[in-house]
Structure 1
Amino acid sequence: MSWLIALSDFFLYVVLAFLAGDAVLRFIQSEKKPLIEVPKKWLVLALASIPLLLAPPVIQLVLLLGNRFGLMQAMIDVITQFRTGQSYVFGVLMALAWLIVVWRDGSAGLRTFWLVLSVLNVAYASHAASIADWQGFTAHALHFLALVLWAGVLIHIAWFMKDGRNWRAFLNWFTPFAVALMVILIGSGIWLMLFFVAPEDYTSSWILPYGQLLLLKHLSIIPLLFAAFINAALSRSDAPNRPWLKVESWLLLVVLLITAFMSKLAPPHNINETFRLEGSAPFVEWFAGPQYLPVQAVWTPNIDGFLMMAIGVIFLGLQWLGYRKQLPEWLSFVFSLGFVAATYTGFMFSFLF
């Protein structure tokens, strides 16, 4: 059921990003943004989906405890004693209040208030908060808030823009806004990572499923930043480049998807102990053969690794070529994924564990 919970988290992140974009753009004057039309029913449906998307981890925990205490007692215990259950109750109440605000065309301030509370609620139920108390809670909240704000505005611009009027005026405020969010994302991401993986254990953690996804997330950020740079700095036209806005939004969704699956894996506080309990990640033995304790990643340069990394650089160049030649956006997105896959393979060929 863990994959179902991870997917529900992914869709929850997308929904909150969509709602965050709505809140942010309502603060912006009409002459400083393109014409964007989002039907109210889409916002209502997004908010109505939140209780459903929050439910899978609660159901899993209730079923697990129900075998020992009965379903009714398990439900009471989960709601009163577990962060997951408490977060679900808070999340449903906040979604209901937020829905009333949207239904009655409430202000941007009220929408933002419920957005921030919903982000804090997600952070409250996170691994980081349960492990590092207020520091983990703060780091996760900052990281998640920055991510949904950036993704939310981008989703609205890429998919709901009716015309590109005021594009230059939009970039004048959105570019520094996105840069600030990226700084917060990177800073809070490093902060979060240090709760789970010591810097000296970063490469050794790649033997574990969590470490594999952490590496893939870091690699996926590179083509995302490249796409953002193209949209913000290289596209000099007074009209938006809709295909590349969509490429950037797809890459952000990839980051959100990896983040959702990471949140359901055991963080490698002690790599050797986690490896002993869970074993290696599915693809590690394909690249490096059978693994044994103790785990210690060793950099072993070889021609296979260098060739795959070179192919990764070529894919990044093809991503640039896709922009220059105005190739279909899906092809540029495939080039981005090709960079991630090839560079990942190059790293895995270049380490012995």
Structure 2
Amino acid sequence: MIIVSNLILFPLATFVLGYYIVETVMKREEPIHSIKASWIRWAILTIIVVTFIPVLTHTFYIVNDFNAPFWSTYQTVLLSYRVGNVWLAVIALGALLIIASIRKVHPGFSLALMVVLFFVIGLTSHSAALSPVAGYMANMLHLLAIAFWIGTLFVTVFATKHFPWSWFISWFSPLAIISVAVLVGSGLFMMRTVTPEYVNSWVLPYGQLLLLKHLVFIPLLMFGVVHGFFLKKRVEQGKSPKRSFAIESGIALVILFITSIMIEQVPPHVVEHTIESNDPSSLFLLIKGVVSLPLTLAFQPIGLLFGSLAVTTLAYLFVVIRLQKGYWLSVFLTLCFVLFGYIALMGSVN
């Protein structure tokens, strides 16, 4: 249930943050998107509801395992456990956001509240548990970088004919570059903290998800590069890049879903110790048959073959995005790159 709540929570919170970014930066008299204020209020209410699921889950766990009374346990979880404190803070922030929306307060205020909301949600992360200060800050920078980049992208899916694409690209491109730089930097730091044995971690579900996330991130970055550096001239000619941005948003959503699932997986800080108390990845066992640590990455013929296919596919994807033709072909090429890259890496690990 907690995984389901995360699958709803992070995309919704990212979307709301992106909405307030666009509203703050691009306020116009004519409607530039079709997002209604009521949608945002319902999204905020949903965030409050789904962040309650971990509270309920912890409560039932204690009640069932220790035969404790429900109401006193619920109060203890709510007031004494971090997950309960986080939910109370989310209620307060959510209420302020809804009031601000109803009273039409400047969107910059709501944007600031959403940033605080992300900091609150991040208190329950694995990085915060393993490294209370540095790990927490790295995780928050990671989440906010994703949210600022991807959340703003989500809004473009609802762009109207009045959407000022040229101006949007002029300020969104620097924002995306900064977000990617922060994303990569904080990600590398968290890998040192949470997953220092990157290749070995592939034997565990967390490591497999992290590998898939990295593979999906590469085509997403390709879309971002093309949109940021090669699209402005076509936009100035009156051509709308809405469909291309929509595909980039869809790929970004996949990364959010993977991240949402990873949050509830056991982080492989020391893989040899983690696997003693946790099952290995079913996908890894299906491919390799057995777990034998440590793993070594040495490219075999199958790895070189599929690695070459992955690189070729990525180059072709660049051309397709650059020409803004074959939108579904770009989706197909993205899937092929992830598949070829995955086979290349898993076929080269022993």
State the TM-score, normalized to the length of structure 2.
0.92
Structure 2 residue aligned with 1:214: 210
Distance apart, 1:52 and its partner CA: 1.8
**Which of 302, 312, 315 is the equivalent residue of 1:314?**
312
Contact 2:203 2:284 in 1 (8 A): yes
Distance apart, 1:303 and its partner CA: 1.4
State the superposition RMSD in angstroms.
Answer: 2.0
Distance apart, 1:43 and its partner CA: 0.8
> 1:142-291 maps to which residues of 2 (within 5 A)?
142-157=141-156, 159-163=157-161, 165-198=163-196, 201-235=197-231, 236-237=233-234, 238=236, 239-291=239-291
2: distance between equivalents of 1:264 and 1:249? 24
> 1:2-21 maps to which residues of 2 (within 5 A)?
4-21=1-18
Gaps of 5+ in 1: none
- What does the per-residue CA deviation read over 1:298-351, in whole Å, with 9 as the maximum and x for residues that have no partner? 123221122222222233234235335655534422321221122012101101
1: distance between equivalents of 2:162 and 2:210? 36
Give the letter aligned to residue 350 of structure 1. S
Distance apart, 1:85 and its partner CA: 1.5
Identity of matched residues, %: 26
2: distance between equivalents of 1:153 and 1:184? 16
Give the letter aligned to residue 206 of structure 2. Y
Distance apart, 1:222 and its partner CA: 0.4
- What does the per-residue CA deviation read over 1:259-300, in whole Å, with 9 as the maximum and x for residues that have no partner? 1111000001111111121132111123222124xx211123
Q: Taking structure 1 as reference, are residues 220 and 113 closer, same or farther at Cα in structure 2, changes over 3 Å only? A: same
Question: What's the secondary structure of 1:298's corresponding residue?
Answer: coil
2: distance between equivalents of 1:165 and 1:284? 46
**Which of 16, 35, 55 is the equivalent residue of 2:52?**
55
- What does the per-residue CA deviation read over 1:156-206, in whole Å, with 9 as the maximum and x for residues that have no partner? 11x1111255322222211111101111111111122221122xx211111
Structure 2 residue aligned with 1:95: 94
Structure 2 residue aligned with 1:329: 327
Q: Taking structure 1 as reference, are residues 74 and 30 closer, same or farther at Cα in structure 2, changes over 3 Å only? A: closer
Give the letter aligned to residue 62 of structure 1. T
Q: Is residue 23 of structure 2 the alignment partner of residue 65 of structure 1?
A: no
Task: Give the paired residue count.
Answer: 344
Gaps of 5+ in 2: none
Q: Taking structure 1 as reference, are residues 325 and 277 closer, same or farther at Cα in structure 2, changes over 3 Å only? A: same
1: distance between equivalents of 2:15 and 2:95? 17
- What does the per-residue CA deviation read over 1:127-150, in whole Å, with 9 as the maximum and x for residues that have no partner? 111221122221111111111111
Question: What's the secondary structure of 2:160's corresponding residue?
Answer: strand
1: distance between equivalents of 2:107 and 2:136? 25
Give the letter aligned to residue 224 of structure 2. A
Distance apart, 1:89 and its partner CA: 1.5
Q: Taking structure 1 as reference, are residues 270 and 336 closer, same or farther at Cα in structure 2, changes over 3 Å only? A: same
Structure 1 residue aligned with 2:75: 76
> 1:291-310 maps to which residues of 2 (within 5 A)?
291-292=291-292, 295-310=293-308
**Which of 336, 339, 346 is the equivalent residue of 2:337?**
339
- What does the per-residue CA deviation read over 1:27-82, in whole Å, with 9 as the maximum and x for residues that have no partner? 22457x99223211111111111122212222221111012112112212211222
2: distance between equivalents of 1:196 and 1:102? 38
Q: Is residue 135 of structure 2 the alignment partner of residue 139 of structure 1?
A: no
